[in-house]
Chain A
Amino acid sequence: MIDTIFFYFFALLTLGGAVLTVTRRSAVHSAISLIVSLIGVAGLFLLQKAEFLFAVQIVLYVGGIMVVFLFVIMLVNLNEAERTRQFNKQWWLALASVAVVGAEILYALRKPLLLPAAGVQIQDGRGNVERIADLLFSDYLLPFEVASLLLLAAVIGGVVMAKKRV
């Protein structure tokens, strides 16, 4: 019961923030709405017992990525961009294709979902963080290392891109 209320509350935060992000004229307003939406997603993670991802979502997305976005918004002069047209000329085509694809997926979801029966929650006294860490550092060690390489490449790429003279 309380789960249902929280689900709809966080879903409202997520979708409302998302709609405002896409429709606002000012980029700063968009960024603030995106923060609301990301917090809603974090709440949904918490509802699904993904406590580690909840923390990561708040610390990394809301605390990290969105601050970078706000810095860039201040670096880039957006006064002119706010006064002009906000949507491009093909917006009706984009809306139509998204409506078609969305209707298709929703139609597929209307039929009883062909999922195998829900798995049993293994209760062995280990918490969410511990289970993720076990899996991340055993089965998924190679992707983990590749991800660190990707981050290194992104750091170097970001510095080189933003440098004055390459």
Chain B
Amino acid sequence: MHPITTVHYLVLSVALLAIGTIGVLTRRNIIIILMSIELILNAVNINLVAFSNHYGHVTGQVFAIFVITVAVAEAAVGLGILIAMFRNKGTVQADEIELLKW
């Protein structure tokens, strides 16, 4: 078996990013769209930690902490918006919120 290198982690990160992006772009349920955003942010974190390990320096891990902070804030506000939207519109489908459509 080949030893695991940094490139392995990068490829895994690309795959996770692609899956998350597919989720954001194709799903209708807003809750699952928010979960896919979490997947994307986790792909970023894998990348940061992989490079941090590669260079033997922990700056990447410090940045991963900031990314996690932003993910928490985004989830809190996003779910608040979702609840407000469900109360006003009665739906959680992304393509039924169409006020700005042409």
Contact = CB atoms under 8 A, between A and B. Distances in A.
A140 B62 contact: yes
A141 to B, nearest CB: 11
B54 to A, nearest CB: 5
A130 B60 CA distance: 15
Interface in B1-50: 1-4, 6-12, 14-23, 25-29, 31-32, 34-36, 38-39, 42, 45-46, 49-50
Contact of B65 (A68, A122, A136): A136
B90 to A, nearest CB: 8
A158 B35 contact: no
Contacts of A98: 18, 21-22, 25
Contacts, number: 230
A50 to B, nearest CB: 5
Nearest to B2: A4
Interface string B51-64: 01111111101101
Given A4-B1, A72-B83, A147-B66, A86 B29 contact: yes
A69 B61 contact: no
Interface class of chain A by DSSP: helix
Given A88-B28, A132-B61, A102 B83 contact: no
A86 B94 CA distance: 11
B76 to A, nearest CB: 4
B19 A18 contact: yes
A30 B6 contact: no
Interface of A: 1, 3-4, 7, 11, 14-15, 18-19, 21-22, 24, 27, 30-31, 34, 37-38, 41, 44-45, 47-50, 52-53, 56-57, 60-61, 64-65, 68-69, 72-73, 75-78, 80-81, 84-91, 94-95, 97-98, 101-102, 105-106, 109, 113, 115, 118-122, 128, 131-132, 135-136, 140, 143, 147, 150-151, 153-155, 157-162, 164
